[in-house]
Structure 1
Amino acid sequence: MVTDDRSPRVDAHAHVFTRDMPFAADAHSRPDYDYSVESWLADMDAHGITHGVIAAASLFDDANAYTLSALAAHRDRLRGTVIVPPETDAGMLFRLAAQGVVGVRLMWRRVDELPDLSIDPWRGFLHRIADAGLHVELLSRSASLPTLLPALVAAGVPVVVDHLGVPSRDAAERRVGTDALVRAVETGRCWVKLSAGFRMPFDTAAEVARDSLERAGPARLLWGSDAPFVNHESELGYGDAIDLYRRLVPDPAVRAAIDRTAFDLFFNQGC
């Protein structure tokens, strides 16, 4: 598969939903609009993007039905992650994998106390995720990464870290988080998404992207738009997200290599 250097070919992080979907009780935002899978595909088509990965959204907790229906309708182009409780059995995880699910999203960005991943139910859950051929999609902040990433890697489960590891605005804390990211990447079991850079100062996003490229390389990086940019809809469009990515990764050859990483990881095909 040939990659056009002018644009990314894989959007590895976007959310799709309709206004009819039930919000989680603790949803931090409640969008009053639809961003259907058809809307996302239209945005992708308009910018030459051929494949995508739906990221489960915390706003809807474990309401995965819409994601699964989107995967069923567009299996050639899409993969997705889901939110499920840690008691989920192996059979269910294997059935989800057969439907185009590639990962289970764990979100500890807004928690005060991190779970102990070395004991059940988490220990068994992580093993079942790995056995089903899925990865953990981790959303957590810089300060938590030195605790969470070694535990996840030790459990033997592949990890994809969202949003540049949600870097802290505090330089020392951000450095600790980036160092933990790089150490996890060096194990060969971890990838980092260059996504949601618009949710942080550009200099912060550029610093983490630069460090990740220099220390991890494009074989461990992914790009995602984070469409439809919840809470930033009036400031950003899909093309703007791509422009930001090009500012963070100006070399088209490096962007092409990041595309290859996404195809290999999510679609098991070279490009």
Structure 2
Amino acid sequence: MIAFDCHAHVYERLEPVPGARYVPDAPAPLETWLQMQTDHGLRGGVIVQVSFLGTDNSQLLQALSRLAPSRFAGIACIGLDATEAEVRDLAEAGVRGVRWNLVSGAALPDVADPQVRRFLSLLQAHDMHVEVQLESPRWEAYLPSLAPSPVPVVIDHMGLPASADPRSEPWLNALEACTDRDPFFVKLSAPYRGVPDARAHLDRLTWLLPEDRFVWGSDWPHTRFEDVASYPGDLGELADRLDDRDAARVLYGLSTPG
């Protein structure tokens, strides 16, 4: 059973930061997302800060202020120099994690660096986690360094797989070689951003990690892939294979009625 949409972007206004890699043509209203959840039998979800808004989380927080915290949560983007007060305020507003968008050659935070250790300690103190978007070939070297993380590490978009054969997938090989997989969760979202057919990758993933380490996300409104993606995507197939409720509770504090 898939109960939650744990990866969607909601923004009422297009206010890109300078140098944004991509700016969509239209807003992604909260009410539209909520209606799609209702149409597909979902109980709630997670709003992820969209990259073109940078670290201005104001629209994310506005949306969360209208939603029930037992069914909805947020993932923000903030700098490694964030203060304790900033992290506390985000947590109190319903933010349950921070996104590191590390694609396209972005620098990889070093868990051994004092500033990064301080940052992760702040997240830990406020029951938050880190969500990482990174291409599979770069995950291969980076994933082992995150195993000592004091907070959960959510691997975004299924690790952005690069190989049609999961046995040759760099990040899956790194995960299998990792002796401590306890911090890792995987977000099953946006298959169109990786290989065309990731079902065999999921087979290998569910052999490497227990069921309570997976959540599903629609990636709505499918920025840059609006013409090839649809809201339900592979929801029906995954709903027959996985139950996301334990992972959604651990990561986001979400629960279903009854």
TM-score (norm 1): 0.85
- Paired letter, 1:258: D
2:188 to 187, 194, 206: 194
Match of 1:161 in 2: 155
* Counterparts of 1:172 and 1:50, CA distance in 2: 32
How far did 1:173 drift?
9.4
**2:3 corresponds to 1:13:** no
Match of 2:126 in 1: 132
SS in 1 for 2:127: coil
What CA deviation, in whole Å up to 9, does each residue of 1:79-120 have, x standing for no partner? Answer: 001001110012221221111100000011111643433113
Structure having the higher helix fraction is 1
**2:253 corresponds to 1:267:** yes
User: Unpaired segments of 5 or more residues in structure 2?
Assistant: none
**2:199 corresponds to 1:209:** no
Match of 1:34 in 2: 27
Of structures 1 and 2, the one scoring higher in RCO (CA 8 A, sep 6+) is 2
Match of 2:110 in 1: 116
- The two structures, once aligned, show a CA RMSD in angstroms of 2.4
SS in 2 for 1:238: coil
Q: Residue 152 of structure 2 contacts residue 184 of structure 2 at CA under 8 Å; is this kept in 1?
A: yes
* Counterparts of 2:72 and 2:56, CA distance in 1: 18
* Counterparts of 2:150 and 2:33, CA distance in 1: 33
Match of 1:24 in 2: 17
What CA deviation, in whole Å up to 9, does each residue of 1:145-191 have, x standing for no partner? Answer: 23333333323121111001111237589523113335669532210
How far did 1:144 drift?
2.2
- Paired letter, 2:209: A
Q: Which stretch shifts more, 218-227 or 161-170?
A: 161-170
User: Unpaired segments of 5 or more residues in structure 1?
Assistant: none
- Paired letter, 2:200: E
Percent identity of the aligned residues?
Answer: 28
Q: 1:92 to 1:146 in 2, by over 3 A?
A: same
* Counterparts of 2:45 and 2:66, CA distance in 1: 13
Q: Residue 185 of structure 1 contacts residue 216 of structure 1 at CA under 8 Å; is this kept in 2?
A: no
